[in-house]
Amino acid sequence: MADAFTCRVEDLLDLDDRRAMPDADLRLLSGAASSPEPPPDTRTAAAAVPEPSGSELVRLAADESATWAQWAEASNVGDIALDQLMADTRALASDFLTADPLPLFVRTRQLRDRVFGLLEGHQHPRQAADLYVVAGYLCGLLTWMSSDLGQLRDADTQGRTAWLCAELAGHNDLRAWVLSTRSKVAFWDGRLRDAVNYARRGAAYRPTGTVGVLLACQEADAWSQLGAETEALGALVRAEDARDTMSGEDEVGGIFACQPARQENYVAAVQLRIGRPADALRAADNALTLLKTQPVRAYGTEAQIHISKAAAHLATGEAEGAFEALAPVLALPPDHRMEPVTRRLGELPVDVNRAPAAGQVGLRAAIEEFRLHSAPRHLALSPGEGPA
């Protein structure tokens, strides 16, 4: 107050104040008035307070531990909330097989942000691990979606974050699924050796469920693209072994599951690349039969099976069979025309040399029209984006 009023401390006191003050305070006031030194620093004064000792020290330590325990016991998420987050993640992974990708991408991103927000708060270590598992699967979903939309660089970024979540959670099945998504991205990015290595690393975790089947199929896919027939066929055998020795169920399902039809789709593609169109055709027909028995039919997988069947027909000179096989693919709505489908469809004209010339022209035109109105192209040409 004396500083505020630019006066001396004793100028603030009247006679009654001085009479009411203890002698010690009066002596302190007189000393302060006669000394030019500034008042002592409150921090120094606080530091000068002696540490408690004896029973007071023991009581203080107990109070400190109790205060910390109250903080540690508190959590911003409960077990029911964790169950709901995992249930929502399973729903998104299942919807991915049949829904339009962009609205689903928005929903997945929103749920991921909720989980990230919870992880920035405080929860028990077990609950934090569960949140990292959910976050890892959601980033894995965003990896897969980004890749299917033709955004491979963004997919790779999502994959790295998904891997971090799997590591922080210490969850081997999640590690395997993340490495599966990263193998997929590497394959479509032309990094085939990386695709093989990711698939092998994932299998090394000896996961439960069907991810072991998918990882072996992805390895075979990459080997066949490299022209390594022996390695590709060996990986397909390991896929069969993985299914026969599978333990446990898939934790999430949907896109994070490898049903028999999906496995046969890989078999058909591999057999095509190593020059066995008859075997590819059998695998494609088997895949379509198996697909009819599944409760949910993934339009992306089904389209790729039809493309493999068409390619097998073209390789054997059966142009009419190829056009018939492609009819369901060409009828897909634009929002369901994902990058793997458009890429594989774009490879077909190379193999139509045995088809009649008129048929070749019509097929090329239909494929070009399909690719022109695909989901990746619509995304690339959306406001704020440049062309693909």
Q: Residue 354: its pLDDT value, please?
A: 53
**N- to C-terminal Cα separation, the chain:** 70
Q: For 285-298, write each residue's pLDDT tens digit.
A: 999 999 999 888 89
Q: Whole-angstrom Cα distance, residue 99 to residue 34?
A: 85
Q: Whole-angstrom Cα distance, residue 278 to residue 316?
A: 8
Is the confidence at residue 365, as pLDDT, over 90?
Answer: no
Q: For 19-46, write each residue's pLDDT tens digit.
A: 777 776 777 766 655 545 555 555 555 5
Helices 229-244 + 211-226 axis angle, to 10: 170
State the residue for tokens 């046969």: 264
Query: What separation in angstroms does the CA of 214 have from each of 104, 237, 247, 259, 279?
Result: 23, 12, 14, 9, 20
State the residue for tokens 């896109």: 255
Q: Residue 351: its pLDDT value, please?
A: 45
Q: Residue 382: its pLDDT value, please?
A: 64
Q: For 303-360, write each residue's pLDDT tens digit.
A: 999 999 999 998 888 888 888 999 999 999 988 989 999 999 888 854 455 555 445 5
| CA 97 and chain centroid, separation | 16
Percent of the chain past pLDDT 70, that is, above it, reads 86
Amino acid at 304: Q
Amino acid at 361: V
Amino acid at 189: D
Q: Residue 66: its pLDDT value, please?
A: 84
386 confidence band (pLDDT: 50, 70, 90) = very low
Q: Residue 209: its pLDDT value, please?
A: 94
Q: How many helices (DSSP H) and strands (DSSP E) are in the chain?
A: 20, 0
Contact (CB, 8 A) for 330 and 374: no
Q: Of 381 and 141, which is predicted with more confidence?
A: 141
User: Hey, what's the torsion of the CAs at 231, 236, 240, 246, to 10 degrees?
Assistant: 80
DSSP secondary structure of 301-315: HHHHHHHHHHHHHHH
